[in-house]
Amino acid sequence: MIKQVLFVCTGNTCRSSMAEALLRKMLNEDLADRAAMIRVVSAGTGAISGEKAAQNAIEVMATEGIDIRSHRARLLSVDLINGADLVLTMTLEQKKTVINMLPSAKSKVYTLSEFAEGVKEIEALLAKAERIRGILEEKRRKYLEKEGSKLEQLRMRNQDLSRQMRALDEELRQFEQKMDQEVISEKRDLEAIQEQLTVLEIPDPYGQNIEMYKVCANEIKKKLKSVVNRIKESLEE
């Protein structure tokens, strides 16, 4: 009998928190008083304990008539796995993590999709993938046995070209340094002029905080006063 269900995701603030809430609601609707016999919990493989549910998760659950604002994330532990009769993860990687933490729990750990859609079908797909992976590795091994010497030659050529490119990069760098020395006084003069010209510009606040936008707006307003005065003067001419 399943008396405790554990949902697992990564942070326990989105997927598993919603799964926990939804299952509770569905159990209450379908089992009525008997729903109290089943405990539903959730955790995350990389959760920060005490973190609130994601705002988007809260809003989505609200449309389901569920309030998860009090949800707090918890880190997955061996005790939680051991205490559950059924562990449902969101991904295969999370399933592996759970089993690695407690190998004896393997028979009760599934991905949510795996458990919902049929264990045999999923296991068959995984077995097929493993067979294909084995064939792929064997073909690669045989190809390397046949063409391995050519691959080694290509790697050596690549290393040689890389060394030549590094030497060329260094030669270019030295050339540019010498050229910069030739024009250093002119560059300094231009930089000084550019610094004086900055007073004629309004700095772009894009990507900065709201305070910088306020500074920009105030600077524009100050300059617009002169513009307004000039316009008024032109109307009186």
Domain ranges of the chain: 4-117, 118-197, 202-236
Tell me how far apart the alpha carbons of residues 5 and 81 are, in angstroms, rounded to a whole number: 9
> What is the distance between the alpha carbons of residues 15 and 22, in angstroms, rounded to a whole number?
11
- CB neighbour class for 99 (10 Å; exposed up to 12, middle 13-18, buried from 19): middle
CA 188 to CA 63: how far, in whole Å? Answer: 63
Q: How far apart are CA 110 and CA 70, in angstroms?
A: 27
- Order of strands, edge to edge, in the sheet holding 39-44? 39-44, 4-9, 86-89, 109-111
Contacts of 14 (CB under 8 A, 6+ apart): 53, 54, 56, 57
pLDDT at 77: 97
How far apart are alpha carbons 158 and 45 in whole angstroms? Answer: 42
pLDDT category of residue 80 using cuts at 50, 70 and 90: very high
Average pLDDT over residues 139-154: 86
Residue 194: predicted pLDDT? 66
Task: Inform me whether the pLDDT recorded for 226 exceeds 70.
Answer: no
Instruction: End-to-end CA distance of the chain: give it in Å, rounded.
Output: 94
**Dist CA 111 CA 115 (whole Å):** 6
Listed ranges 92-101, 108-117, 126-135; the one with the highest mean pLDDT: 92-101
Distance between CA atoms of 196 and 203, rounded to whole angstroms? 14
CA contacts within 13 A on the Cβ side of 120: 0
In this predicted structure, what is the pLDDT of residue 1?
81
* Confidence check: pLDDT of 237 > 80: no
pLDDT reported for residue 216: 61
- CATH code of 4-117, in short, is 3.40.50.2300
Instruction: Compute the mean pLDDT over every residue in the chain, rounded to the nearest whole number.
Output: 84
pLDDT band at 229 (very low <50, low <70, confident <90, very high): low
The per-residue pLDDT for 230 is 58
Neighbouring CB atoms inside 10 A of 72's CB total: 15
Q: Kindly tell me if the per-residue pLDDT of 209 is higher than 70.
A: yes
Higher pLDDT, 127 or 49: 49
Q: Which of 80-94, 99-113, 138-152 has the lowest mean pLDDT?
A: 138-152
DSSP 202: -
Does residue 30 carry a pLDDT above 60?
yes
Q: If you average pLDDT over each of 71-80, 122-131, 220-229, which comes out highest?
A: 71-80
- List the beta strands (DSSP E) in 45-150: 86-89, 109-111
CA distance 228 to 200: 17
**Could you give the CA distance from residue 87 to residue 16 in angstroms, rounded to a whole number?**
11
Paired with 149 in beta bridges are none
User: Residue 206: phi, psi to the nearest 5?
Assistant: -55, 130
Residue 103 pLDDT greater than 90, yes or no: yes
CB-CB contact of 14 with 54 (8 Å): yes
